[in-house]
Amino acid sequence: MTVDAVIVGSGPGGSAAADVLTAAGWSVVIVEKGRNHLLDPDDPTRPSTDYSNDEIKFLSRYFLGPDPLVEPRTFRTGEDDGDRVHVGEVNSVPTTVGGGGTHADGKVPRFMPGDFRMLSELGPLPGAEVADWPLTYDELEPYYAEVERAIGVAGLAGANPFAGPRSSPFPMPPGAPMFGALQSTAAAERLGYHPYPAPTAANSVPYDGRPACNNCGFCAYFGCPIHAKGDPVALLTRAMATGRAELLSETFVPRIRFEGRRATGVDLLAADGTERFLAARNVIVAAGAIETPRLLLLSEVDHPLVGRYLMVHFQTIVAGGMPFRTWSERGRSVTHVHDDMIVGDEASRQAARDAGLPWIRGGLVEHAGAAMPIMEAKHYPRGTVHNRLMADSPIRKKLWAFTMQGEDLAYPTNRVDLDPGFRDARGYPVARVTYRPGPHELAAHEHFGPRLAAILDEMGAEWTTVTSSPGRGNAGFTPESVPESRHNMGTVRMGTDPDTSVTDPWGRLHAYDNVVVADSSVFVTSTGYGPTLTLAALSARAARHLV
Amino acid sequence: MPSWLTEEERRVLEAACERTVPGTEDGPGAVAGGVPDYIDGLLGAFTVDPPRIWARGPTSGRAGGEAAFASFHPLSPLDELAWRMRIEGSQGLPEREFNGPVVGLQERYRTGLAALGSDFCELDRVGQKDRLAADPDFAELLFHHCCEGLYGAPEYGGNRDGAAWRAIDFAGDVQPRGWTDAEVAEP
């Protein structure tokens, strides 16, 4: 049997493609190497009940995967580090049915129109491969709206003065604002910034058969026990309900098979070790910006840019201790954000000049606290002081913080390739990440960090700290050199020129007629926004182009 | 609760845990909080079926719903491989040594507790701290497990009766009740 499409990966990208293709009548097999904790195994048109408010399960014991003992990655900051300096977790996105959509707290901002025209609007930056995307915001806008409707996004049109035009309102109003966010947004507004309710794929009202979020607080890094988070369960259940989709979980794809310019299908490796070939008329690769280039490299796709231009977000984390309880354990983890650090101002332009750069850009700033007690406990010293600190709780009860998802530029030296010396439990070479921030990321951090601290001061902070992930410094490896960001992008860049890009503007590999990349691998720039909505919109657009 | 440690090891473990996070007027210490049960339960996770790795969901019953945390998820073959490697170590088995030998938690605890010495319980506070400081990797492992055991869900063996959560004014798992919009915005 030959299926119309095999989709490798069941996260937001793969799910969006499955939704479009099955609606068009295609037969689809979705292959996911992780377990299925998202859909009811007896009725995959319904969500499962495996998720829970359980910090041990989700934050200490790899329930959503990947487990670094059996699916490690390796890391180095540059070739001068040798083959690797770290083995284990590296930029891990869940390896499970639903992929990154399962653990995210559901913030799904759109990019701004100018994000697609970075080179035209800002010009080049030495050392980085700044480029325009091969499509515009206007071309993607209908797909943004389509995905927002499908997964259910709560937001307030017009609240963000920097947002691009919308063809339709948000499907539902914003959810309850967190107490701490009300304080930090008021402080930000007093200083002239423009915070707004974060567009969030968590229901504020019952939507599409799923309940409204009940603010349990176990949101970021947790699966939603009531499936108020719609990404990607809404897309997957809809695809499964057509009867034209089959889901193969715990099944690994080690190789795409080719004949001439066409893929013929993929090899499958099941949990019990059995191998077989699945014939497919089209292959959709949606395994994420680290596993997708890994699969292309394992499949010997021959293009020098496969794996190049890895971007994450350079995170500036600014925390402040408040003289009041911030109640960060109640609500959707992040309910408010602001974009001012992306847009910039005269001060940021001067900071760029001071750093010898033509420009700098920050990123979306998330307003949030720290809610989980085990994580808090591990930060305090042991001994008799521990219980007193846990009771006073300067972190969980009184901390408020900003995380700026700073725009990370594309550098050819930042990349994913196959580690020559480490394998996963199935016997295949693991992905090796080579990553080091450039002068732009460090300069943006140095400029915007103190400005974010000033907002916390305005909020009433008794102390503030400014840190980053990865840690600053450009020489040698430390454990902080591995980025915390799970926003992986750019490793199979799209474009119109086969010499400077791996896929065409619809995500199709230049070298093969029926292989489409449908995840954030194709991103040309990282912008300062989370990638989920954009990658799902691109995937829907690519799938529509196929049918 | 599964048990893996010997009686002597358990005695040393309890003393080491209590030295790591002592009970105070602010909250229970590691022993009263059930941390030794949490650690022993993890080390002996595979003595029961399904192994005590991941409590089920979606609710514990503490805020309504069924007490589903009381049972545990079955492991997939890959999950079982990972957790046997983590707990038991690679033990020279080729299928566990695809990237070289792995020292498991059982061996780390057996070695670490032995190094603390059978007289550890009789030492004074300074003596115990010195012994723990002599093996910083083991002390760090023990501390992390103390944090998980004290402040994790009680179904894993620690946080006895939820006392540690009460001591820090943390509601714990709150599904299916959650929080009302007013409790979020104006607590």
Q: Mean pLDDT over residues A135-143, rounded?
A: 98
Q: Select A2-546's CATH number: 3.40.30.10, 3.50.50.60, 1.20.1250.20, 3.30.300.170.
A: 3.50.50.60
Chain B residues closer than 8 Å to A326 by CB:
none
Q: In terms of residue numbers, what domain contains B19?
A: 7-185
Mutation target vs B (from A56, A215, A372, A396; most B CBs, 10 A cutoff) = A56
Smallest CA–CA distance, residue A476 to chain B, in Å, is 23
The radius of gyration of chain B's CA atoms, rounded to the nearest angstrom, is 18
Instruction: Test A383 with B77 for CB contact under 8 angstroms.
Output: no
Instruction: Test A271 with B77 for CB contact under 8 angstroms.
Output: yes
Instruction: Test A215 with B180 for CB contact under 8 angstroms.
Output: yes
d(CA A462, CA A338): 23
Query: Who contacts B120 (Cβ-Cβ below 8 Å, separation ≥6)?
Result: B12, B15, B16, B128, B131
**Could you tell me which of A183, A92, A221, A253 has the C-alpha nearest to residue A402?**
A183
Chain B residues closer than 8 Å to A70 by CB:
78, 81-82, 85
Smallest CA–CA distance, residue A227 to chain B, in Å, is 11
DSSP string spanning A440-456?
A: HHHHHHHHHHHHHHHHH
**Could you tell me which of A315, A314, A297, A298 has the C-alpha nearest to residue A306?**
A297
Measured between alpha carbons, how far is residue B61 from residues A47, A228, B173, B178 in Å?
A: 20, 20, 9, 13
What single letter denotes the amino acid at residue A12? P
Residue A484, SS3 per DSSP:
coil
Question: ipTM of the assembly?
Answer: 0.98
**Could you tell me which of A132, A123, A60 has the C-alpha nearest to residue A89?**
A60
Instruction: Test A179 with B187 for CB contact under 8 angstroms.
Output: yes
Mean confidence (pLDDT) of chain A: 96
Instruction: Test B24 with A384 for CB contact under 8 angstroms.
Output: yes
Q: Which residue of A has its CA nearest to B185?
A: A179
And the tokens for A411? Answer: 């550098």
Q: Which residue of B has its CA nearest to A391?
A: B168
* pLDDT (tens digit per residue) in A295-354: 999 999 999 999 999 999 999 999 999 999 999 999 999 999 999 999 999 999 999 999
What single letter denotes the amino acid at residue A520? S
Predicted TM-score of the model (pTM): 0.97
Q: At A299, phi and psi to the nearest 5?
A: -90, 5
Chain A residues closer than 8 Å to B64 by CB:
none
Instruction: Test B152 with A377 for CB contact under 8 angstroms.
Output: no
The 8-class DSSP code of residue A380 comes to: S
Where do the DSSP E strands lie in A70-212? 73-76, 86-88, 196-197
Instruction: Test A51 with B58 for CB contact under 8 angstroms.
Output: yes
Q: Mean pLDDT over residues A240-246, rounded?
A: 97
Using 50 as the pLDDT threshold, list the residues of chain B that sit under it: none
Smallest CA–CA distance, residue A387 to chain B, in Å, is 6
Measured between alpha carbons, how far is residue A86 from residues A79, A94, A230, A313, A427 in Å?
A: 13, 20, 35, 20, 19
Q: Which residue of B has its CA nearest to A50?
A: B57
Per-residue pLDDT at B1: 66
Q: Which residue of A has its CA nearest to B150?
A: A374
Strands A28-31 and A2-8: parallel
* pLDDT (tens digit per residue) in A186-236: 999 999 999 999 999 999 999 999 999 999 999 999 999 999 999 889 999
Torsion-angle region of A399 (φ positive above 0: left; ψ -120 to 50: alpha; else: beta): beta
Classify residue B78: in a domain, yes or no.
yes
Instruction: Test B77 with A52 for CB contact under 8 angstroms.
Output: no
Instruction: Test B174 with A216 for CB contact under 8 angstroms.
Output: yes
Instruction: Test A179 with B184 for CB contact under 8 angstroms.
Output: yes
Chain B residues closer than 8 Å to A225 by CB:
57-59, 175-176
Measured between alpha carbons, how far is residue A323 from residues A458, B167, B183 in Å?
A: 12, 20, 20
- Inform me whether the pLDDT recorded for A476 exceeds 70: no
Smallest CA–CA distance, residue B4 to chain A, in Å, is 20
Instruction: Test A384 with B22 for CB contact under 8 angstroms.
Output: yes
Q: Mean pLDDT over residues A486-507, rounded?
A: 98
- What's the length of chain B? 187
- Inform me whether the pLDDT recorded for A478 exceeds 80: no
Domain map (residue ranges) of chain A: 2-546
- Inform me whether the pLDDT recorded for A474 exceeds 70: no
- Domain total of chain B: 1
* pLDDT (tens digit per residue) in A44-91: 999 999 999 999 999 999 999 999 999 999 999 999 999 999 999 999
d(CA A521, CA A246): 24
Classify residue B158: in a domain, yes or no.
yes
d(CA A35, CA A278): 20
Chain A residues closer than 8 Å to B21 by CB:
382-383, 386-387
d(CA A237, CA A151): 11
| B85, B102, B148 member nearest A56 (Cβ) | B148
What single letter denotes the amino acid at residue A132? D
- Inform me whether the pLDDT recorded for A103 exceeds 90: no
The 8-class DSSP code of residue A30 comes to: E
* pLDDT (tens digit per residue) in A359-401: 999 999 999 999 999 999 999 999 999 999 999 999 999 999 9
Chain B residues closer than 8 Å to A250 by CB:
76-78
Q: What sign does the dihedral A505-A511-A516-A517 (CA atoms) show?
A: negative
Classify residue B1: in a domain, yes or no.
no
- Inform me whether the pLDDT recorded for A525 exceeds 60: yes
Tokens 């309940």 label which residue? A211
Instruction: Test A225 with B68 for CB contact under 8 angstroms.
Output: no
Classify residue B35: in a domain, yes or no.
yes
Count A/B contacts: CB-CB distance under 8 Å: 189
Smallest CA–CA distance, residue A389 to chain B, in Å, is 9
Tokens 């119309």 label which residue? A4
- Inform me whether the pLDDT recorded for A521 exceeds 90: yes
Helical spans, DSSP H, in A228-281: 233-241
Tokens 């709560």 label which residue? A154
